[in-house]
């Protein structure tokens, strides 16, 4: 294992752990402000933490056993790990309890957390220069998601009171995310492949790089969903 590869792998683990830790921290701070009983707050905190832990173990297992990389089974082997987070996050976003919690989460916090996408793009580029990822999945190719990460702090600290602009930014940034997810899927060695340049997109089905589609991508669109709901709750 080369030093660069090891650094990239550790980078994905640390980035995932750090930003999900920040999400849990914001959740804890918001729960305190709801006025709910300590028992209810603890139940929610514990539930969120256990969900993340169980999901991480499940994702690690399917990657380490090679099941996620069996492209002859695509999309049946991968689809559940893309749609389960999507369904879960949509349910969370539109639940009554989340509405109460979001009243105590600053839109600046939800927006500024999107800066993690800058580091994701750097890690993807590091994989590319090791010939482990196709060019179109980097900012040198067709991946423009770094724009969302770079602009996130600016939007959070200078334009958070501009509801219309914030809604537009969230929708455009969500479109950037959809763009790269689509490119990633179409770069896999499957019957749906459109981009045939090598290497194919297989690295994201291995550990720990599988954290990209199963944790970091859901974090990005989850923050957008929560931000949009928060913005639409405003008068």
**DSSP line for the chain:** --HHHHHHHHHHHHHHHHHHHHHHHHHHHHHHHHT--HHHHHHHHHHHHHHHHHHHHHHHHHHHTSGGG-GGGTTTTTHHHHHHHHHHHHHHHTSHHHHHHHTTS-HHHHHHGGGHHHHHHHHHHHHHHTTSS-GGGSTTTT--THHHHHHHHHHHHHSTT-HHHHHHHHHHHHHHHHHHHHHHHHTSSSTT----PSSPS-GGGSTTTTHIIIIIHHHHHHHHHHHHHHHHH--
pTM comes to 0.96
| Domain range summary for the chain, segments of one domain joined by + | 3-233
Taking the CB of residue 182, how many other CB atoms lie within 10 A of it? 12
Confidence label for 1 from pLDDT (cuts 50, 70 and 90): low
38-72 pLDDT, tens digit per residue, is: 999 999 999 999 999 999 999 999 999 999 999 99
pLDDT at 70: 94
User: In the predicted model, what is the mean pLDDT of residues 76-83?
Assistant: 92
């Amino acid at each position: 294992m080369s030093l660069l590869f090891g650094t990239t792998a550790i980078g994905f683990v640390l980035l995932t752990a750090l930003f999900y830790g920040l999400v849990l921290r914001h959740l804890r701070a918001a729960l305190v402000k709801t006025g709910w009983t300590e028992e209810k707050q603890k139940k929610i905190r514990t539930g969120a933490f256990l969900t993340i832990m169980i999901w991480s173990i499940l994702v690690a297992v399917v990657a380490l056993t090679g099941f996620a990389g069996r492209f002859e089974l695509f999309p049946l082997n991968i689809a559940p790990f893309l749609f389960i987070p999507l369904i879960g996050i949509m349910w969370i976003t539109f639940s009554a309890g989340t509405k109460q919690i979001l009243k105590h989460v600053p839109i600046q916090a939800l927006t500024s957390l999107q800066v993690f996408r800058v580091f994701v793009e750097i890690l993807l580029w590091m994989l590319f220069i090791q010939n482990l990822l196709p060019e179109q999945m980097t900012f040198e190719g067709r991946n423009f998601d770094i724009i969302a990460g770079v602009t996130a702090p600016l939007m959070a600290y200078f334009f958070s009171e501009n509801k219309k602009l914030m809604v537009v930014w969230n929708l455009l940034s969500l479109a950037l995310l959809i763009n790269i997810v689509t490119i990633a899927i179409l770069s896999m060695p499957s019957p749906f492949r459109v981009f045939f340049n090598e290497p194919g997109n297989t690295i994201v089905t291995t550990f720990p790089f599988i954290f990209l589609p199963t944790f970091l991508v859901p974090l990005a669109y989850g923050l957008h969903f929560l931000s949009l709901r928060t913005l639409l709750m405003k008068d």
